[in-house]
Amino acid sequence: MGKLVVLRTIAEVRAWRNTIPPDRLVGFVPTMGAIHEGHLSLVRASVERCAVTAASIFVNPTQFGPHEDFARYPRPFEQDVQLLDAAGVDMVFAPLPEEMYLPDASTSVVVERVSEGLCGQYRPGHFRGVATVVLKLFNIVQPHLAFFGQKDAQQCAVLKRMVRDLDVPVQIVVCPTVREPDGLAMSSRNAYLSEDERRRALALRRSLLAARDAWRAGERSAEALRSIGLAVLDAAGGVRVQYWEVVHPETMAPLAAVGDEGALLAVAAYVGETRLIDNELLAGE
């Protein structure tokens, strides 16, 4: 602990990267900060596998819609750096938006189809912003491995497709969703929830588990699983569902039935003003 460096410019990161011998594995954990156990689990996975671990803290303006929470997104920077340091991060890249985006930037990454359903449908431009910033971060940090959370399953699918299609020499490692003891998926946005909303938010997880149990008992129809999930959310009250879908685990395309390849159950809902997501993977055979 205590050897972590915080770098603000791309030039500084390139210079830092050049000091790492070519035979040492570099792991990378991109974040928007407000660090919690979910982020730290990714750091630990990197520290376990890699000689050097880099992280980034960047609340990326281009992945927020005009009416989303960019301005009020939590930014407890000093605490974040301490937590990342304690977990074993060697370098944190924390650029200003001006460092990442020139005013006349003209290039972006669009991952077709995989990014179009689920969150992509309700957050236009979100995955273009994500894919573009992650490719930029990969080009700046040049990691061998990059660690992402299953919590953001569509993000993982989009980024896997991006590195495959563009021959990006980075291996995407997807790590399990870290949850609060009562099952709520950890998220920086949980801080927005009142006590009452926090309790209602548990219904997202419960809706997924109810559908998973039905699948385990033999139900294969997507519509039937969806009805089971929606009934749980409806009963909770105060939860405004945006989507609850059964999709292919890699392409994110809607499924009519869960087949041999398994499926992803994915939900997004507003609890009060806070938009939350969660998902559950039904393993293939």
> Least distance (Å) from ligand AMP to the CB of residue 57?
8
By C-beta, is 150 or 207 nearer to ligand AMP? 150
Binding mask 132-171 for ligand AMP (x = CB under 6 A): ----------------xx-xx-------------------
* Contact between 69 and 89 (Cβ < 8 Å): no
Among 32, 119, 145, 252, binds ligand AMP (CB under 6 A): 32
How many residues bind to ligand AMP according to rule CB under 6 A? 17
By C-beta, is 110 or 191 nearer to ligand AMP? 191
* Contact between 50 and 144 (Cβ < 8 Å): yes
Pairwise CA distance, residues 206 & 211, whole Å: 9
Q: Give the Å distances, CA to CA, from 277 to 96, 217, 284.
A: 27, 25, 22
Identify which range of 10-18, 37-45, 65-73, 113-121 contacts ligand AMP by CB under 6 A.
37-45
> Least distance (Å) from ligand AMP to the CB of residue 191?
12
From the list 39, 67, 126, 144, the catalytic residue is: 39
Tokens of 245: 């879908």
39 catalytically annotated: yes
The closest alpha carbon to 153, from 179, 119, 110, belongs to: 119
Among 92, 141, 178, 265, binds ligand AMP (CB under 6 A): 178
DSSP for 96-118, please give it. -HHHH--TT-------TTTTTSH
Among 94, 185, 266, 271, binds ligand AMP (CB under 6 A): 185
Pairwise CA distance, residues 237 & 235, whole Å: 6
By C-beta, is 206 or 220 nearer to ligand AMP? 206
By C-beta, is 193 or 228 nearer to ligand AMP? 193
275: which DSSP letter?
E
| DSSP 3-state of 68 | coil
Among 13, 42, 50, 222, binds ligand AMP (CB under 6 A): 42
> Least distance (Å) from ligand AMP to the CB of residue 149?
2
> Least distance (Å) from ligand AMP to the CB of residue 152?
4
Q: Using CB atoms within 10 A of its CB, is residue 13 exposed (0-12), middle (13-18) or buried (19+)?
A: buried
262: which DSSP letter?
B
Identify which range of 89-97, 104-112, 182-190, 202-210 contacts ligand AMP by CB under 6 A.
182-190
Pairwise CA distance, residues 92 & 216, whole Å: 42
Identify which range of 38-46, 76-84, 136-144, 250-258 contacts ligand AMP by CB under 6 A.
38-46
The total of other beta-carbon atoms located within 10 Å of residue 177's CB is 20
> Least distance (Å) from ligand AMP to the CB of residue 275?
12
- Cβ-based neighbours of 199, under 8 Å, separated by 6 or more: none
Pairwise CA distance, residues 61 & 12, whole Å: 22
Give the binding site for ligand AMP (CB under 6 A).
Answer: 31-32, 38-39, 41-42, 148-149, 151-152, 175, 177-178, 185-188
For the annotated catalytic residues, the residue numbers are 39
